[in-house]
Structure 1
Amino acid sequence: MPTAPDPLRPQDRVAIVCTARKASHEELAAAVATLTGWGLEVVLGESTNIAHHQFGGDDEVRRRDFQHQLDDPGIRAILIARGGYGTPRIIDQLDFSRFAENPKWVAGFSDITTLNCHLLRLGHQSIHGVMPLLFHQPGGEEALESLRRALFGAPIIYTVAPQSLNRFGTAEGELIGGNLSLLQNLTGTASDCPTDGRILFLEDTDEYLYSIDRMLVHLDRTGKLCHLAGLLVGHFSNPQDNLVPFGQTPYEIIDTYARRYNFPVAYGFPVGHEPENMALICGRQARMTVNESGARVEYMEAP
């Protein structure tokens, strides 16, 4: 079973770093104030407030900063400032041996799916949740509160309204997932994670409909779908189409492949590139129930 870091406590130190796109101290000021308000001491890493083109420093700066926070026993959580692109460029140069001796929370989403999956592959839980640059986006209050609850070990239960494509049933398994395009790109790498017996959650943004289909074909052909315990389908924001329409919505595309199997499926789960981006603990044992009333997801392990 993947290892869970200890819940945060007041006066713990947490770091904010950029493993992907750049973020200035000014852009992070509101998030720092929020974390301080939670009773935490905030450290802004070397990779914040600098830029190398679109990145938060070049690959070596971002790697060095993240490695420093991984190794520092006084840092109890690492929050990735924002996503975009860049984490896969440095993941294979990171050493998690000291982290394994003293695990801490790592939290983020989108490009940070790379870290969530890599840590799970190594046997550690992490958080897929809202990042500091987005802490105060309008409509994101519940998502931010869910992150706080996940970090501090408070109980979490999610309920979702019924959707027409839902497939009823109950499933138990460790949560795994994140951004569909990252999951597909991680296949066959050192960050690839088995999905058998697990509850997979998916989200994405700005993807062409044919590309969503192509990625689902790839996941299906590589055996990522056939032995799932269950599937949570989150936001597929701002989908793109060609002049000749693809002919299906993102949810209809996913249903094409999900219906081949017998696991329960819940659509419209509040995770992804929207203000409603509820924190999910990757690697934690959960139960999902889908019926006429909608869907319910709850953790089966004590924090």
Structure 2
Amino acid sequence: MQDRREALAMIGAGGLALALPSSRGRATAQSVRRKPPRLKAGDKVGLVGPAGFHADSFDLRIASESIAAMGLVPVLAPHVNDRFGYLAGQDRDRAADLNAMFADDSIHAIFAVRGGWGSARILPHLDWAAIRANPKLLVGFSDITALHLAIAARAGFPTIHGPNAGSAWGKLSWEPFRAMVFEGRLPLVANPPGDEDRLVQRLYRTRTIRPGTATGRLLGGNLTVLAHLVGTPWLPNFDGAILFIEDVDEAEYRIDRMLTQLGQAGILGKLAGLVFGQCTNCVGEGPSYGGFTLGDVLKQHVEPLGIPAYQGALFGHVADQFSLPVGCRAELDASAGTIRLLESPVA
């Protein structure tokens, strides 16, 4: 999410000077029960750019080939090659692409090409009535968190926090994704055993913050994006949820600041459990003597909650990451470092 913090600061409180939907449009788990259809070979899927632009057209070619390798047919959104500053086109054009993909009955799912910044800017321009009426899997991570959370709040059907279309899609990512959205199975979300030449496993280790198990609805994504949605109408109800969060290029004090915000906004106190995934390059610059580590920060914020929690799950800004179904029920085992899915995101 390159230059994300600067862009977030630029938009500020007045950056979305538009009429926002009323609370009457908010979905609930009780009022919305339809799920997106599972995918099958030959299905058409839309490729959209709701956030940052892709600098090289070859990147879009790689993304399209990845989708084709899944047995799916990529359909490029009209504005996916646009550029407006650091964005993949004007806000209304990016929103129009997403609206069109949801409204098109021939499109079975929607993949974000990449993240960056900009998804939150298009939320007021989305046709929420049409989105609610046409549940489809939206797949992506990083800045796409804004769309996942808004759909959970406004439309009520599951989405997939997982690799973008332009991500690496290695075996660790592809096989569980295929099992979940093509076959309707519920793969266990557990880090693989490390295969490096060490006496004790170091790669892919998890760390228990507070032991125990918890059951709840999976909600979350990128911590920075989530924190900047606090106070907007785009957040779902976190009562009894299992929050999963990750980030990139954020120093420890910034993670501290964002968790403080979530705590003081009342979100952390509502949770049944918490999983912190990968925090890539999350080490502050300069001397670290006397500073808090990321583990220290998480312990300070999470232990007082009295909920099961662990750190190090394989999702976030890494080459191989799990797919997590946003809005689906799951059981967290903080001691084992696992998430057991209890509900399929597809019908």
Which string of whole-angstrom CA distances, capped at 9 and with x for unpartnered residues, describes residues 132-161 of structure 1?
Answer: 12135xxx4312333333332333112247
Within 2, Cα distance between the matches of 1:250 and 1:44?
A: 40
Q: Which amino acid aligns with 1:203?
A: E
Q: What's 2:328 paired with?
A: 284
Q: What's 2:343 paired with?
A: 301
Cα 1:237–1:162, aligned 2, differ >3 Å: closer, same or farther? closer
Asked if 1:135 is matched to 2:179, the reply is no
Q: CA deviation at 1:100?
A: 1.6
Asked if 1:26 is matched to 2:69, the reply is no
Q: Which amino acid aligns with 1:269?
A: A
Q: Indicate which of 210, 230, 233 corresponds to 1:167.
A: 210
Q: Which amino acid aligns with 2:243?
A: L
Between 231-240 and 53-62, the greater mean CA deviation after superposition: 53-62
Within 1, Cα distance between the matches of 2:113 and 2:159?
A: 15
Cα 1:11–1:240, aligned 2, differ >3 Å: closer, same or farther? same
Q: Which amino acid aligns with 1:27?
A: D
8 Å contact kept, 2:208–2:337: no
8 Å contact kept, 2:328–2:343: yes
**What's the Cα RMSD here?**
1.8
| TM, length-normalised to structure 2 | 0.81
Q: Indicate which of 161, 180, 184 corresponds to 1:150.
A: 180
Within 2, Cα distance between the matches of 1:31 and 1:106?
A: 15
Q: Indicate which of 101, 107, 123 corresponds to 2:139.
A: 107
Which string of whole-angstrom CA distances, capped at 9 and with x for unpartnered residues, describes residues 250-294 of structure 1?
Answer: 232111110002211121111111113210000001011232xx2
Asked if 1:47 is matched to 2:79, the reply is yes
Q: Indicate which of 262, 268, 276 corresponds to 1:225.
A: 268
8 Å contact kept, 2:46–2:109: yes
Q: What's 1:118 paired with?
A: 150
Within 1, Cα distance between the matches of 2:93 and 2:150?
A: 20
Q: Which amino acid aligns with 1:126?
A: T
Asked if 1:16 is matched to 2:58, the reply is no
Q: What's 1:177 paired with?
A: 220
Within 1, Cα distance between the matches of 2:173 and 2:115?
A: 16
8 Å contact kept, 1:78–1:105: yes
Within 2, Cα distance between the matches of 1:53 and 1:145?
A: 36
Within 1, Cα distance between the matches of 2:299 and 2:320?
A: 22
Asked if 1:213 is matched to 2:256, the reply is yes
Structure 2, unpaired ranges of 5+: 1-28, 192-203
Cα 1:79–1:164, aligned 2, differ >3 Å: closer, same or farther? closer
8 Å contact kept, 2:209–2:303: no
Q: CA deviation at 1:165?
A: 4.0
Q: CA deviation at 1:120?
A: 0.5
Between 29-38 and 258-267, the greater mean CA deviation after superposition: 29-38
8 Å contact kept, 2:214–2:332: yes
Q: CA deviation at 1:59?
A: 1.6
Q: What's 1:90 paired with?
A: 122
8 Å contact kept, 2:273–2:309: yes
Within 2, Cα distance between the matches of 1:158 and 1:44?
A: 31
8 Å contact kept, 1:175–1:281: yes
Structure 1, unpaired ranges of 5+: none
Q: CA deviation at 1:242?
A: 4.8
Cα 1:259–1:37, aligned 2, differ >3 Å: closer, same or farther? same
Cα 1:143–1:206, aligned 2, differ >3 Å: closer, same or farther? same
8 Å contact kept, 1:3–1:125: no
Q: What's 2:92 paired with?
A: 60
Within 1, Cα distance between the matches of 2:206 and 2:178?
A: 28
| TM, length-normalised to structure 1 | 0.92
Q: Which amino acid aligns with 2:189?
A: Y
Within 1, Cα distance between the matches of 2:117 and 2:205?
A: 34
Cα 1:34–1:164, aligned 2, differ >3 Å: closer, same or farther? closer
Q: Which amino acid aligns with 2:48?
A: V
State the secondary structure of the residue aligned to 1:100. helix
Q: Indicate which of 302, 317, 328 corresponds to 1:258.
A: 302
Within 2, Cα distance between the matches of 1:108 and 1:70?
A: 15
Q: What's 2:26 paired with?
A: none
Q: CA deviation at 1:109?
A: 0.8
